[in-house]
Amino acid sequence: MKVYLDYNATTPVDPEVFAAMVPFLREEYGNPSSSHWLGQKAKKAVEKARQQVANLLECNPDEVVFTSGGSESNNFAIRGVAAMRRESGKGDQLITCAVEHPAVLNTCRHLEGQGFKAIYLPVDRYGMVDPDDVRRAVTGRTALITIMHANNEVGTIQPLKAIAEIAREGGISFHTDAAQSVGKVETYADELGVDLLTVAGHKLYAPKGVGALYIRRGTRAEPLIYGAGHEGGRRAGTENVAGVVGLGKACELAARELTSGARRLAVLRDRLYQRLLADVGSDKLVLNGHPEKRLPNTLNVSFLGVEGAALLARVPDIAASTGSACHADHKEASPVLSAMGITPDAAMGAVRLSLGRFTTEAEVDCAAELLVKAFHAGVSS
């Protein structure tokens, strides 16, 4: 049995999503900016999808801007707001944290080369930011705070509401990269208190190459891409209609099963963990990330005494990761785990097992059995 446990890297396209997209890859091929009947059909489909995304985020449709994915949305939010706020004299300091996705960290580093000052806050052993650290970092020059909602490697969910209060008190724009959390847990923009929120289609059963950025009304962000006046003048480029339709449908499906889906995944995740713990032992298996405040589908564990990459190499029928997929070619400890204070040996033994909509109990049990056998073989060799 082949078992896919890398849903945090990418999800398969849901069959209902695929079916919704097909007409816009065939007969409904109009440009949504065209005024004729075929173009207007495409425009109507894009606006329906915008409403579907808005429903999942509990925001207004005009606050949703379609992009090419999570990395573009993060760049748009960070670079766009930073440029606008510096131009208006409202600051040139950015606050983020050490465990962000490279699409955030490298964007902040790029802006440092443009004269901005970036502060990279530490995290605790669970990978969580302390809101008090955020408060202490804020100055009169702070233009933007960008803290992810949930970590892609360990699943820890950040205390965004508390951070949002700090941002609001200081009149500071607040962005969150919610690529990993949208569709898995509640990501209601007003409830979280964020001004900008990143959505990545291929993390919630839509295709790759499409995403969205929530921009709260009144929040100004300089466009990342210039051209014609698409997306309300905020993101130039003819919309990827089929992809946008897929994203909209994926958000509709996510909203429909948000609570039940999260509950099911948490049960399967915990079943997998308990199976591993029982056979490997608590002295050789360490849980990484917060034990409670984490994504329901994510299990990151360190197998002590073996390398995670070597362990997975012994079980080719399991598709999983030793960390973020963006670091898959590197043979060094995950920067996220290092920032959490995980020892180098434990970090090198880490494996990320992320479950999803199509994961079954039989697959979980099979994966546990294969991983346990591979671990004991690795320890004895």
What are the residue boundaries of the structural domains of the chain, listed by start? 3-11+258-375, 15-256
Q: pTM of the entire structure?
A: 0.96
What own/partner pairs with CB < 8 Å and gap ≥ 24 does 87-91 have? 87/222, 90/143, 90/171, 91/139, 91/140, 91/141, 91/142, 91/143, 91/172
Tokens of 221: 């962000």
pLDDT in tens, 295-320: 999 999 999 999 999 999 999 999 99
pLDDT in tens, 23-81: 999 999 999 999 999 989 999 999 999 999 999 999 999 999 999 999 999 999 999 99
**Burial label, 292 (beta-carbon count in 10 A; 0-12, 13-18, 19+):** exposed
Evaluate whether 167 touches 144 at the Cβ level (below 8 Å).
no
Q: Which candidate, 359, 281, 282, places its Cα nearest to that of 320?
A: 359
- Residue in 97, 108, 251, 326 annotated catalytic: 326
Architecture of the domain whose range is 15-256? 3-Layer(aba) Sandwich (3.40)
Report the amino acid identity of residue 29. Y
pLDDT value for 89: 80
180-181-187 Cα angle (round to 5): 145
Rg (CA), the chain: 21
pLDDT at 381 over 70: no
Whole-number Cα distances in Å, 85 to 56, 198, 220, 248, 257: 29, 19, 8, 31, 39
* 167 backbone φψ class: left, alpha, beta (φ>0; ψ -120 to 50): alpha
Torsion of the alpha carbons at 71, 56, 206 and 318, rounded to the nearest 10: 90
286-289-295 Cα angle (round to 5): 125
pLDDT in tens, 78-136: 999 999 998 888 889 999 999 999 999 999 999 999 999 999 999 999 999 999 999 99
pLDDT value for 324: 53
Q: What is the mean pLDDT of the chain?
A: 95
Sheet with 285-288: strands ordered across = 285-288, 298-303, 350-354
| Superfamily classification of domain 3-11+258-375 | Aspartate Aminotransferase, domain 1 (3.90.1150.10)
Axis-axis angle for helices 70-87, 102-112 (nearest 10): 30
Q: Which candidate, 50, 47, 46, 55, places its Cα nearest to that of 189?
A: 55
Evaluate whether 143 touches 90 at the Cβ level (below 8 Å).
yes
Phi, psi of 245 (to 5 degrees): -60, -40
Tokens of 166: 């700090």
pLDDT in tens, 191-240: 999 999 999 999 999 999 999 999 999 999 999 999 988 999 899 999 99
326 is a catalytic site residue: yes
- Which of the residue ranges 29-38, 234-243, 250-259, 325-334 would you say has the lowest mean pLDDT? 325-334
